Amino acid sequence: MASLNQALEQALAQIGIDGNRARFYLAALELGEAPIAAVSHQAGIGRTNAYEVVERLTADGLISRIQRGAKVFVQAQDPFVILRRIEEHRRLAADLVPQLRLLHHRAGSKPRVRYFEGVEGIKEVLYDTLTCKSGELRGVLAMAELLETPGVDVMNKYVAARIKAGLSLRVIRSVSRETDAIWPESQAHRRQLRYAPASLDFGMTSYIYDDKVAYVSSRREHFALCVQSEEFAAFQTAMFEGLWMAAGRAPETPTS
């Protein structure tokens, strides 16, 4: 029984009912209607602390107080009340989050720039692109550099995750940076591919999505950067669209 109570106490802690509150509530469930002193003794809580715990549990709707003459009894409410409590919190959060996001956007008028180093940092920036809400990524990919770092295995897993997330990609690449014949244009892989004019040589990778622009460097500098700014993302989008119109198919499109 002790091990069961310990497991239940840990589970209650995960939903915000922790410490003395969890122990008192479990003891009250076991005893049914009982004096505060009896429940606090069962829970191993001092009498002084017990009254404070009862006040908090009563406010949470988990305990009811019953006056019988000079004595105060307590009774645990049906555990189903916990579900109602969580649902109520969820509804309140759903109403509150849009208002909080509005404040966040107002306060976030300055660009947010995040800098990462190494393969793990590059992976973090790459996978952030999967949060894209518009459903379409715009990318300029330096193929030779990506295959070197973070490497083909990481990139293949990322591509699979992008496809699974239902995100399409319009990508521009440099013919001069092509190496292996991989990642061709593909409806199944949600990829549209064009090649930049021969005079343009891309040594870095970038992704544009929503209000963010992500950059991935070559192995030599080994960093990634994510800039969150509506104006900057809009500017980079316009630049991409201009380049997209100037780009075309390679004389020999890679196949796989």
- Residue 154 is part of a domain; what is its CATH number? 3.30.870.10
In a domain, 171, yes or no: yes
**H helix or E strand, kind and range, residue 83:** helix 80-107
Q: Quick one: pLDDT at residue 206?
A: 97
Q: Average pLDDT, whole number, for the chain? A: 87
3-state SS assignment for residue 178: coil
Q: Say yes or no: 241 and 118 in one domain.
A: yes
Residue 242 lies in a domain: yes
Kindly state whether residues 176 and 54 are assigned to the same domain. no
Q: Are residues 101 and 115 in the same domain?
A: no
What are 14-56's pLDDT values in tens digits? 888 888 888 898 999 989 998 888 988 988 998 788 888 888 8
* Measured distance CA(153)–CA(59) in Å, rounded: 54
The sheet carrying 191-195 orders its strands as 112-117, 223-228, 212-216, 205-209, 136-141, 168-173, 191-195
The answer as to whether 253 is a domain residue is no
E strands in 174-222? 191-195, 205-209, 212-216
Residue 237 and residue 118 share a domain: yes
Side chain identity at 5, as an amino acid letter?
N
Q: Please report, as a single letter, which amino acid is at residue 63.
A: I
Q: For 59, phi and psi rounded to 5 degrees?
A: -65, -30
Distance in angstroms (rounded) separating the CA atoms of residues 246 and 228: 27
85-107 tens-digit pLDDT: 888 878 888 888 787 777 666 65
- Residue 33 DSSP code: S
Strands of the chain, DSSP E: 34-35, 63-68, 71-76, 112-117, 136-141, 168-173, 191-195, 205-209, 212-216, 223-228
Count Cα neighbours of 14 within 13 Å in the Cβ-side half-sphere. Answer: 6
pTM of the prediction?
0.57
Q: Of the residues 107, 123, 147, which one is the last residue of a structural domain?
A: 107
For the chain, the domain total comes to 3
**What mean pLDDT comes out for the span 213-241?**
92
- For residue 101, tell me if it sits in a domain: yes
**198 falls within a domain:** yes
Q: Is residue 163 part of a domain?
A: yes
Do 123 and 184 have their domain in common? yes
Would you state the pLDDT for residue 39? 87
Q: Does one domain contain both 103 and 122?
A: no
Q: What does the pLDDT look like over 136-192, one tens digit per residue?
A: 999 999 988 888 889 999 999 999 999 999 999 999 998 887 777 788 888 999 999
**Average pLDDT score over residue span 66-90:** 85
Quick one: pLDDT at residue 254?
A: 43
First to last CA, the chain: 61
Q: How far apart, in whole angstroms, are the C-alpha atoms of residue 207 and residue 101? A: 24
- Report percent pLDDT > 90 for the chain: 37
The verdict on 123 and 54 lying in the same domain is no
157 and 64 within one domain:
no
Assign residue 35 the CATH number of its domain. Answer: 1.10.10.10
The verdict on 205 and 121 lying in the same domain is: yes
**225 and 128 within one domain:** yes
162 and 237 in contact (C-beta within 8 Å)? Answer: no
> Which of 91-105, 199-213, 226-240 has the weakest average pLDDT?
91-105
Same domain, yes or no, for 23 and 59?
yes
Range of the domain at 116: 111-246
Asked whether residue 208 falls in the same domain as residue 126, the answer is yes
Beta pairing partners, 225: 115, 215
Residue at 49 is within a domain: yes
Residue 129 lies in a domain: yes
Residue 256: pLDDT above 50? Answer: no
